[in-house]
Amino acid sequence: MQLTITVILYFLIIFYIGYLGYKSTKSMSDYILGGRKLNSIVTALGVGASDMSGFLMLGIPGAAYAVGLQSLWIPIGLCIGAYLNWKLVAHRLHEFTIKANNALTIPTYLEARFSQNHRLLRLVTAVIILIFFTLYSSSSFVSCALLFQTSFGISYKMALFISVPVIVIYAGIGGFLAVNWVDVFQGTLMLFAMLFLPLVTLFSIGGTGSLIQQIGPGYFDIYHDVSIVSLVSSLSWGLGYFGQPHLLVRFMAAKNKTEIKKARWICMTWMILCLVGAFLVGFLGRVYFAGAPLANPEAVFMSLSKALANPWIEGVLIAAALSSVMSTVAALLILASSAFAEDIYHFTRKKEATPNELIWIGRLAVFVVSVIAVYFAWDDTKNSVLSLVGHAWAGLGSSFGPIILLSLFWKRMTARGAISGMVVGTATIFIWMWLSSIYKEYEIFQLYELLPGFIANLTAIILVSLCDRSHNYSQKFFD
């Protein structure tokens, strides 16, 4: 009963914040970017909370539970990539999008960056965002439904029916402001959970002295069964940060350079604490459940919460787990809606649409994308959450990462080069996934698809741009 009350209270808080966001949304700029007035804390926790998804509460603990210290390589790669994204991209992208006639979306920015009305570039960018964000949202809905199913003992499909409307309502109605304000609340819950649960688990197993006696020494070896391919694959997760539009828009929405700099350190501190905590949940959970191993390693967070916390605290921990999923999918839905409303509907169909009309078109897009995502999430015989998130992360990172980086630092890139890179990078992802499924005996094809996709995209941009005579860019971006 206490668990149910806590989760209901959590939903009521989210709905209330969504209502406040709705009241504060007066224009398309408010709905998509919050009026470019986010402070450092909102920016930092917005990036962090929308980044982690079910990966934090399910994927990382599950990997640590299953293989031990060697699972640290992915968090290490993520921390390196996140820091470089803040350092290299955040401030420069914020400035460039303001110079791009106050661009509200990544496709709009890219069109302005090449100083030409390049309809195809804007449309290709928006379509790729819609495709991968729908798939990413689907993986987040799976995570959310699994959390409800485990916590309340209900069916998977019933869990979908309960969780999805909550996300759609506060994201669709409240817009970007609501999503960011909710992220501050959710990010705080996630940090509490990742600090509290490892400490309680460590105390319950009697400290660290019994670890080696209960688990084999290979579990404590960071290089155990780690090949060059698996090491490179794990570290390459960090490349994905450069191409995640739902994170990049937080840089665009920040108030100024000073707030971005402060946000960098707030976010990196939050991220490191959360990732270390998530690893420890799985690592210590392996010891706690040594006598009765879990059938599903990714259930270790929920299982420890049930075993060690009273019902009230368990409710807070479950709310934190839900936060990790809902914050990400809400950000994805807002970006998908902005891509449709601003870069497809407004750009191709009705250029004289009023701001209020565009806001409601965006809300309609949230609903439509959610329905499609639920369709893909309907079958509960899924891969692991880590695998699902990994494919979506790779798709976005390899499609947009090189383009964002080169658009900020290389004048010579052309619109045709950018289009070629996006198409080649996206195609490489699907081709590599196909190759890895049919040539399982060759280790090279087990390389994480993000890296070959990123390299293929980068190569295509450079080659096509150097051969393209229609080199156009606006000098104002590099003054």
Per-residue three-class SS string for 298-362:
HHHHHHHHHHHCCHHHHHHHHHHHHHHHHHHHHHHHHHHHHHHHHHHHHHHHCCCCCHHHHHHHH
Higher pLDDT, residue 194 or 315? 194
Rounded Cα gap, residues 45 and 419, in angstroms: 32
Q: Residue 346: which residues within 8 A CB-CB, separation 6 or more?
A: 353, 358, 361
- Among all chains, which residue has been given the structure tokens 């999805």? 164
Rounded Cα gap, residues 412 and 226, in angstroms: 40
Higher pLDDT, residue 76 or 105? 76
What are residue 254's phi and psi, to 5 degrees? -65, 155
Residue 46's pLDDT band, with cuts at 50, 70 and 90, is: confident
Higher pLDDT, residue 341 or 86? 86
Question: Which amino acid does the sequence have at 316?
Answer: V
Q: Of 86-90, 127-131, 353-357, 383-387, where does mean pLDDT reach its minimum?
A: 383-387
Q: What is residue 462's predicted lDDT score, i.e. its pLDDT?
A: 94
If you average pLDDT over residues 19-36, what whole number do you get? 68
Helix axes 385-409, 450-467, angle to 10 degrees: 20
Q: What is the pLDDT of residues 130-181, one digit of tens each?
A: 888 787 777 778 777 777 777 777 777 887 877 777 777 766 666 666 777 7
Helix (H, G, I), strand (E, B) or coil at 254: strand
Quote helix, strand, coil % in the chain, to nearest 5. Answer: 85, 0, 15
In the chain, pLDDT over 70 holds for what percent of residues?
Answer: 84
Separation in Å, CA 56 to CA 48, 127, 239, 240, 392: 11, 28, 18, 16, 15
- 38 DSSP β-pair partners: 254
Higher pLDDT, residue 435 or 118? 435
Q: What is residue 113's predicted lDDT score, i.e. its pLDDT?
A: 82
Q: What is residue 217's predicted lDDT score, i.e. its pLDDT?
A: 65
Q: Residue 459: which residues within 8 A CB-CB, separation 6 or more?
A: 424
Rounded Cα gap, residues 269 and 273, in angstroms: 6
Burial class of residue 467 in the structure, from the number of CB atoms within 10 Å of its CB (0-12 exposed, 13-18 middle, 19+ buried): exposed
Burial class of residue 47 in the structure, from the number of CB atoms within 10 Å of its CB (0-12 exposed, 13-18 middle, 19+ buried): buried
Rounded Cα gap, residues 458 and 422, in angstroms: 9
Rounded Cα gap, residues 303 and 289, in angstroms: 9
Rounded Cα gap, residues 450 and 395, in angstroms: 7
Separation in Å, CA 211 to CA 70, 285, 308, 312: 16, 11, 18, 29
Q: Which helix (H) or strand (E) segment is 454 a member of?
A: helix 450-467
Rounded Cα gap, residues 391 and 139, in angstroms: 10
Higher pLDDT, residue 401 or 100? 401
Residue 475's pLDDT band, with cuts at 50, 70 and 90, is: low
